[in-house]
Structure 1
Amino acid sequence: MLFDDAYKTIEGTAAGIFRDKGSKFLAYAYPIRSEDEVKPIILKLKAEHGKANHFCYAYRLTPDRSVFRINDDGEPSGTAGRPILNCLLSADLTNILVVVVRYFGGTLLGVPGLINAYKNACLEVVKESKIITNTVNDVYEICFDHLQMNDIMKLVKDENLKILAQQFDTSCSLKFEVRKSHLNQVLGRFEKIDNIKLKYLQTI
């Protein structure tokens, strides 16, 4: 299978709510890029919802969707984090964190009831979110002589590359972003220009 160079995520934060037998399940969705962002978000929600009983969550990270984590936060195992994650899987979203804040309403919902509630809370917040498609891009730096400027700039324009930084002096450098699926074509064209140095920096 070819590497899929696009992924779905959400544009900004969103909120949704699901109620069952007096319990309130407030769902919050956040676009995230790393695991370091999760803890501060949870702490902020705990500060805002001092009387809530549980803060259950799931997140997925990376364009290939390989990183994920679930947390039941005191609910019976498998009744909270897993249904939230399953909802993200079926919506095919990544680089996203969904936290469901539960206020207990006095009536026990039982395992099926909890699974249903956390799933529906997540569905609500996904419905409220603006879903966007991002491409997976590689960032490269190219170093070249001033004399090669025209060739380089023509190629950048032809291939519609996004320039992130540039420095034109006696020796010149450009940092550019290229969509993964176009990479081989672009690198192939650059390699036909003599005396340039190409360096891979990161994938974003």
Structure 2
Amino acid sequence: MPHSLAAPTTHELDIRKSRFIAHAIPVDDREAAMVEIRRLRDTHPAATHVCWALLAGGQSGMSDDGEPSGTAGRPILEVLRHHDLEGVLGAVIRYYGGIKLGAGGLVRAYTDAIAGALLDAQLVERIVQVRLEVEVGYADEARVRRWIEQQGYVLEAGVHGMNVRLSIRLPATALDSARIALRDLTQGRAILLEQA
């Protein structure tokens, strides 16, 4: 089961006058990761490089940000994978100190920096959430709302039209049983729509 981080962590290394500041940040998706990268760039405008890797399902990615290809983003990504993380951005800010480290030295520096940030990180089990859209008649609305509350799911939205359309956020593992429960609850009247 993949894990995420309970909170962002950071770690700093100085290697031959270059300063490496690593951040491991829990994020929901690529969009949230890009916001964090922009924030780090704004916080460190004089940094030479802001290299990163993201593990977030189908939205994973990485960037060497001007470092030689494969010396920064990939090592960060491998460390995240090694820790079996999901929904985590690893970013390392480098202030160049004037001494070249070579490809091997860069790989080691970026690997050690992000590994250091994860050393004291508190891991949490990552429960994948999905959205289930259900359409019910007004007569069934209160019963379905009560059921959502009892299950501890999140009612994200309710739209009233000819019928009531409810958007429910729940763990992916509960999706099948939720479908069955909604059909039983409404005696088959509930219309289950797309989920994301």
- TM-score scaled to structure 2, two decimals? 0.80
The code of the aligned residue for 2:28 comes to: R
Aligned residue number for residue 191 of structure 2: 197
Gaps of 5+ in 1: 1-5
Partner of 1:135, secondary structure, is coil
Aligned residue number for residue 13 of structure 1: 8
Give the Cα–Cα distance (whole angstroms) in 1 for the partners of residues 189 and 122 of structure 2. 46
Query: CA 1:155–1:73 in 2, change beyond 3 Å: closer, same or farther?
Result: closer
Query: CA 1:79–1:135 in 2, change beyond 3 Å: closer, same or farther?
Result: same
The code of the aligned residue for 1:53 comes to: T
Gaps of 5+ in 2: none
Greater mean alpha carbon deviation, residues 77-86 or residues 37-46: 37-46
The code of the aligned residue for 2:77 comes to: L
Listed one character per residue, the Cα deviations across residues 55-90 of structure 1 (whole Å, up to 9, x for unaligned) are 21111223xxx3322211222221111110100110
Task: Map 1:31-180 to 2 at 5 A.
Answer: 31-62=26-57, 66-148=58-140, 152=144, 156=148, 160-164=151-155, 165=157, 172-180=164-172
Aligned residue number for residue 20 of structure 2: 25
Conservation of the 8 A alpha-carbon contact between 2:53 and 2:63 = yes
Of Structure 1 and Structure 2, the greater strand share is in 1
- Percent identity of the aligned residues? 25
User: Could you tell me how far 1:32 is from its partner in structure 2?
Assistant: 2.4
Query: CA 1:78–1:144 in 2, change beyond 3 Å: closer, same or farther?
Result: closer
Count residues in correspondence: 193
Give the Cα–Cα distance (whole angstroms) in 1 for the partners of residues 169 and 42 of structure 2. 39
RMSD of Structure 2 on Structure 1 (CA): 2.9
Conservation of the 8 A alpha-carbon contact between 2:30 and 2:59 = no
- TM-score scaled to structure 1, two decimals? 0.77
